[in-house]
């Protein structure tokens, strides 16, 4: 019998001076870990309890400083990128590198122990030149962001004394709004995944997670991953069965090229699935509007209601923008999912075209995996199209009934009717 020894690794890149300053002049002092450096970005929080390897590599966090609300992080270490799934994709990561600008946690585990771990969290951050702070009051920071909304912040991790005035100057020139992160997170050239003999799904890569690719392959297709600014003609040159517009960072309104392509996909009734940022892009392409949420939805415990059957699902989410439901009226879209906490739009579906989208992450990673069926529904739509809405179908049935010629009364029917009338008269 083979016995596998579980490694136990000790943190090493820790013990630095560290400070976080927010744009409202709040200061949080802590202990630095990872790579000594100075960065600025939008400060957001995630309420998930597990999955920091998947979370930190999610391209949707590009340009942001992430605070994790779960108190202990790093206890199971970091696995190797060389561990692949059956499709050849990294099993425990959502992209090829850490995407956050800095990491804020309450307590960094002294040791990391897990059968798959090959390094500690602080070592991973050091190797990828990402600063981290632990020992700060993440609860107080999260409450501040919930009350005042997300805000810009600057982080410094240093082996020397910290110059707070310099950090404030760096913060004053930092920005997140209006930036286009697509060139940083999208592929620069077409890439293919899966069995080349199978039908193709094109993924417009606005920051796609690997788990989206693996779930498309799971449903029986191969994937062609194209740059975020690919034209409709470039997309259709692969003769795809459908198109997926992926998740990604930043304001959807800066993705003008993707919106233009999405508009053509809608016009031509091309089967399309939007996920997270892709949901917002499809709404904009249809003529709706988007807006910035106060502090966004980031975590693994977000309840959403499927409006088709009032079923509630617990979902994984990471977004800071939403669709304005009041602007959906003339777009052809209707609300598919709704957030049970704040009634924001969590998914849309077209009334007459094979186009659906969700704001949450059906691929999860990290979990929960309640909504994997979204990919299966997309496959069903590709194969069968969309059914007309009940109201539309009922109207069509009524119209058809009115248009149907009335049956002529036969001689036999007339005789039966006369006999009934005679019987009624005798009874009186």
Residues annotated in a binding site for L-glutamine: 60, 248, 250, 277, 280, 318, 320-321
Cross-strand pairs, 313: 304
17 backbone dihedrals φ, ψ, rounded to 5°: -70, 145
Beta carbons of 174 and 41 less than 8 angstroms apart = yes
Catalytic site residue 86?
A: no
Strand 290-306 and strand 272-275: pairing? unpaired
Question: CB burial class (10 A; 0-12, 13-18, 19+) of residue 24?
Answer: exposed
> Does residue 106 carry a catalytic annotation?
no
Strand pairing category for 151-158 and 107-108 = unpaired
Cα–Cα distance for residue pair 334/347, rounded to 1 Å: 9
The number of helices, as runs of H, and strands, as runs of E, in the chain is 12, 23
Residue with token string 């798959």: 116
Among residues 276, 304, 346, 350, which one is catalytic? 276
* Alpha-carbon gap, residue 87 to 375, rounded angstroms: 17
Which candidate in 297, 338, 361, 371 is catalytic?
Answer: 361
SS3 content of the chain, % helix, strand, coil (to 5): 30, 30, 40
Rounded to whole angstroms, how far apart are CA atoms 46 and 297? Answer: 8
Of 42, 338, 346, 363, the active-site residue reads 363
* Cβ pair 54, 76 in contact under 8 A: no
Beta bridge partners of 309: none
Catalytic (active site) residue 349: no
| Residue positions forming the annotated binding site | 60, 248, 250, 277, 280, 318, 320-321
What single DSSP character describes residue 381?
A: H
Residue 311 CB neighbour total at 10 angstroms: 10
State how far the Cα of 35 lies from the Cα of 394, in Å rounded to an integer: 63
Active site residues: 276, 361, 363
């Amino acid at each position: 019998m083979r016995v596998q020894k579980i490694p136990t690794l000790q943190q090493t890149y820790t013990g630095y001076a560290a400070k976080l300053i927010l744009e409202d002049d709040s200061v949080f002092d802590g202990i630095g870990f990872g790579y000594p450096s100075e960065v600025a970005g939008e400060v957001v929080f995630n309420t998930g309890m597990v999955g920091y390897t998947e979370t930190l590599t999610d391209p949707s966090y590009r340009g942001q400083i992430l605070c994790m609300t779960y108190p202990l992080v790093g206890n199971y270490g970091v696995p190797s990128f060389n561990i692949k799934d059956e499709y050849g994709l990294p099993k425990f990561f959502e992209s090829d590198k850490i995407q956050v600008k800095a990491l804020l946690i309450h307590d960094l585990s002294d040791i990391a122990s897990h059968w798959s771990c090959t390094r500690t969290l602080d070592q991973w951050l050091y190797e990828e030149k990402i600063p981290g702070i632990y020992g700060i009051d993440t609860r107080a920071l999260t409450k501040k962001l919930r009350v005042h909304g997300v805000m810009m912040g600057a982080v410094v991790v240093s082996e020397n004394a910290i110059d707070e005035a310099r950090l404030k100057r760096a913060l004053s020139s930092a920005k997140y709004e209006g930036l286009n992160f697509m060139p940083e997170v999208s592929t620069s050239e077409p890439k293919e995944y899966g069995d080349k003999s199978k039908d193709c799904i094109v993924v417009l890569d606005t920051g796609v997670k690997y788990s989206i690719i693996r779930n498309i392959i799971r449903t029986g297709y191969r994937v062609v991953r194209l740059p975020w600014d690919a034209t409709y003609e470039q997309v259709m040159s692969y003769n795809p069965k459908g198109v997926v517009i992926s998740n990604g960072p930043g304001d959807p309104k800066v993705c003008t090229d993707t919106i233009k392509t999405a508009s053509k996909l809608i016009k031509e009734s091309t089967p399309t699935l939007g996920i997270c940022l892709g949901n917002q892009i499809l709404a904009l392409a249809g003529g709706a509007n988007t807006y910035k949420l106060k502090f966004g939805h980031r975590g693994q415990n977000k309840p959403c209601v499927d409006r088709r059957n009032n079923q509630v699902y617990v979902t994984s989410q990471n977004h800071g923008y939403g669709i304005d439901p009041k602007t959906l009226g003339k777009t052809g879209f209707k609300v598919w999912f709704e957030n049970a906490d704040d009634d924001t739009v969590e998914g849309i579906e077209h009334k007459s075209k094979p186009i659906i989208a969700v704001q949450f992450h059906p691929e999860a990673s990290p979990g929960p995996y309640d909504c994997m069926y979204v990919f299966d529904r997309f496959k069903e739509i590709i194969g069968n199209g969309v059914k007309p809405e009940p109201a539309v179908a009922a109207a069509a049935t009524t119209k058809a009934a009115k248009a149907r010629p009335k049956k002529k009364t036969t001689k036999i029917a007339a005789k039966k009717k006369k006999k009934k009338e005679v019987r009624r008269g005798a009874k009186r």
